């Protein structure tokens, strides 16, 4: 596949709308963080970041993977009516589980946040994002399954706008707790109108076991477990800092701001993967199509990745100074994080999502478990010696390790397909 054909396919699937929506979401999310850092102390923002990191690690468990399984199996059917019925089944079960999970997290907050008691209230508010975020992800998934990727992009756009507006108002009134409320309610504001446009049910409990594909829940559970472990990978560094560094609030705040832009850059490969997920799932047995897809992806990313990393690296000191002088004191953390992002662009994101699209979410789970264990042990060793810089180095190396492992397992799957060479 040529670069031109790759661009053309991306355009045909309304990938530009999704990318613009996701990109605007990250940019305005960046603005919302700027707002909260300028209207709160480093200590309070560090406590909030600690709570948010833990909740972000739990969020992939929402709905026990039912919405991911819906996208995967809806791609196998061209019948819109069957897709609607499968959506109703997945939505009702997933939302109930998430509501129960949110209540459990709320009441166990003092135990979970024992390392930093100041983070308890923020954690309790954010615990209910497992419900509101799931609602938004269900609507976006339904739109993608109906080949309405532009709807998904618009949801991201309205989410970003809502988050910035609410962050400005609520942070000024209530500090970081107001910011937590903004994060909680923005997904519903963004997704509700499109849920109505798609005739997606809001409250329903259908008995539709006869239309549930074989392997639906196995795939969803493996995807959910794999995702939560993958998200824990992006959280283990902060959790270890909370454990291993005395009075860690300011250090955590510095670290979170240093990696916020590099991590946000992953939106580009992630959006491409989300745009192409349904089509890649449809061609999961077509070795030639999968080979052409990866060739097209690499022809674009092999030059775009270093270009983006160099440009952002040159701007790093100026970006960090936007948050305040304290956050610009160690730009080398951001440089190291950018090196790790290169592994995400070229290996981790494309091959991890391909494994999920072809139905091998279980492999992603096993890979993520191995990487998480290694990251935990290496952070345990590196943070006491080198502090936050050690954590950044560990996470960057593990991004590349994860990527290479995903590539190896996908190539094993690919070589097992008919006519693969």
Residue 376 lies in a domain: yes
- For the cut 50, the answer to whether the pLDDT of residue 420 exceeds it is no
Alpha helices in 113-175 (DSSP H): 120-126, 129-145, 149-174
Give the per-residue pLDDT at 392.
Answer: 93
Q: pLDDT: is 167 or 38 the higher one?
A: 167
CA neighbor of 25 nearest in space, from 163, 180, 129: 163
Residue 252 lies in a domain: yes
Q: What is the mean pLDDT of residues 243-250?
A: 80
Task: Compute the C-alpha angle 329/24/91, nearest 5°.
Answer: 115
Measure Cα distances from 268 to 233, 342, 372 in Å. 20, 12, 24
For the chain, the average pLDDT equals 84
The two tokens of residue 317 are: 């000191």
Residue 182 lies in a domain: yes
Residue 247 lies in a domain: yes
Confidence of residue 10 (pLDDT cuts 50, 70, 90): low
Residue 128, φ and ψ in degrees, nearest 5:
-80, 0
CA neighbor of 355 nearest in space, from 396, 298, 402: 402
The two tokens of residue 66 are: 């039912």
Calpha distance 420→304 (Å, rounded): 28
| Core vs surface per residue 242-257: b (16+ CB within 10 A) or e | beebeebbebbbbbbb
Confidence of residue 210 (pLDDT cuts 50, 70, 90): low
Q: What is the mean pLDDT of residues 99-107?
A: 95
Residue 420 lies in a domain: no
Rg of the Cα atoms in the chain: 21
- For the cut 90, the answer to whether the pLDDT of residue 122 exceeds it is yes
**Percent of the chain at pLDDT exceeding 70:** 89
Give the per-residue pLDDT at 70.
Answer: 83
3-state secondary structure at position 78:
coil
- For the cut 60, the answer to whether the pLDDT of residue 369 exceeds it is yes
Give the per-residue pLDDT at 12.
Answer: 59
Residue indicated by tokens 């492999």: 363
Give the per-residue pLDDT at 107.
Answer: 95
The two tokens of residue 251 are: 């250090």
Q: pLDDT digits over 256-284, tens only?
A: 889 988 988 888 888 787 777 777 777 88
Could you tell me the end-to-end alpha-carbon distance of the chain, in angstroms, rounded to an integer? 16
Confidence of residue 338 (pLDDT cuts 50, 70, 90): very high
Q: Which domain holds residue 380?
A: 3-415
Specify whether the CB–CB gap between 257 and 90 falls below 8 A: no
- For the cut 70, the answer to whether the pLDDT of residue 393 exceeds it is yes
The two tokens of residue 343 are: 């592994």
- For the cut 50, the answer to whether the pLDDT of residue 421 exceeds it is no
> In this structure, what is the dihedral angle of CA atoms 102, 103, 106, 112, given to the nearest 10 degrees?
-70
Give the per-residue pLDDT at 248.
Answer: 78
Q: What is the mean pLDDT of residues 160-166?
A: 90
Residue indicated by tokens 């199509």: 289
Q: pLDDT digits over 136-152, tens only?
A: 988 888 887 777 777 87
Give the per-residue pLDDT at 110.
Answer: 93
The total domain count for the chain is 1
Confidence of residue 204 (pLDDT cuts 50, 70, 90): low
- pTM for the whole thing? 0.72
Which residues are within 8 A (CB) of 385 and not within 5 positions of it... i.e. 6 or more apart? none
Specify whether the CB–CB gap between 329 and 317 falls below 8 A: no
- For the cut 80, the answer to whether the pLDDT of residue 71 exceeds it is no
HSE-CB at 287 with a 13 A cutoff on CA atoms is 11
Residue 229 lies in a domain: yes
Residue 421 lies in a domain: no
Residue 169 lies in a domain: yes
- For the cut 70, the answer to whether the pLDDT of residue 109 exceeds it is yes
Lowest-confidence pick of 101-105, 347-351, 382-386, 417-421: 417-421
Q: What is the mean pLDDT of residues 391-416?
A: 92
């Amino acid at each position: 596949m040529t670069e031109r054909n790759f661009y053309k396919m991306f355009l045909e699937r309304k990938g530009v709308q999704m990318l613009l929506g996701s990109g605007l979401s990250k940019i305005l999310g960046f603005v919302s963080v700027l707002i909260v850092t300028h209207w709160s102390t480093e200590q309070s923002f560090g406590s909030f970041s600690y709570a948010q990191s833990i909740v972000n690690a739990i969020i992939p468990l929402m709905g026990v993977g039912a919405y991911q399984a819906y996208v995967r199996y809806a791609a196998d059917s061209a019948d819109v009516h069957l897709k609607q019925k499968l959506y109703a089944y997945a939505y009702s079960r997933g939302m109930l589980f998430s509501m129960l999970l949110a209540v459990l997290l709320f009441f166990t907050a003092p135990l979970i946040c024992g390392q930093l008691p100041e983070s308890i209230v923020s954690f309790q508010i954010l615990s209910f994002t497992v419900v509101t975020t799931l609602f938004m992800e269900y609507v976006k998934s339904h739109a993608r399954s109906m080949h309405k990727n532009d709807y998904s992009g618009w949801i991201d756009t309205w989410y970003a706008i809502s988050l910035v507006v609410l962050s400005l108002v609520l942070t000024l009134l209530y500090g970081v707790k107001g910011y937590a409320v903004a994060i909680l309610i923005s997904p519903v504001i963004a997704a509700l109108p499109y849920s109505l446009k798609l005739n997606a049910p809001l409250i329903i409990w259908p008995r539709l076991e006869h239309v549930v594909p074989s392997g639906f829940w196995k795939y969803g559970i493996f995807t959910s477990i794999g995702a939560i472990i993958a998200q824990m990978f992006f959280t283990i560094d902060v959790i270890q800092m909370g454990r291993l560094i005395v009075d860690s609030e300011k250090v955590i705040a510095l670290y979170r701001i240093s990696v916020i832009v590099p991590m946000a850059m992953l939106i580009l490969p992630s959006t491409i993967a989300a745009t192409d997920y349904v089509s890649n799932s449809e061609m999961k047995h077509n070795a030639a199509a999968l080979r052409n897809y990866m060739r097209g992806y690499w022809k674009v990313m092999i030059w775009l990745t270093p270009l983006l990393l160099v440009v952002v690296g040159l701007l790093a000191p100026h970006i960090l100074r936007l948050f305040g002088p304290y956050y610009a004191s160690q730009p080398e953390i951001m440089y190291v994080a950018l090196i790790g992002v290169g592994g995400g662009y070229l290996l981790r994101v494309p091959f991890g999502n391909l494994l999920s699209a072809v139905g091998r979410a279980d492999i992603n789970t096993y890979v993520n478990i191995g990487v998480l264990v290694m990251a935990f042990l290496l952070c345990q060793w590196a943070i006491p010696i080198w502090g936050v810089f050690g954590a950044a180095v560990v996470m960057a190396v593990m991004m590349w390790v994860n990527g290479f492992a995903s590539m190896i397992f996908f190539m094993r799957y690919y070589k097992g397909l008919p006519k693969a060479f």
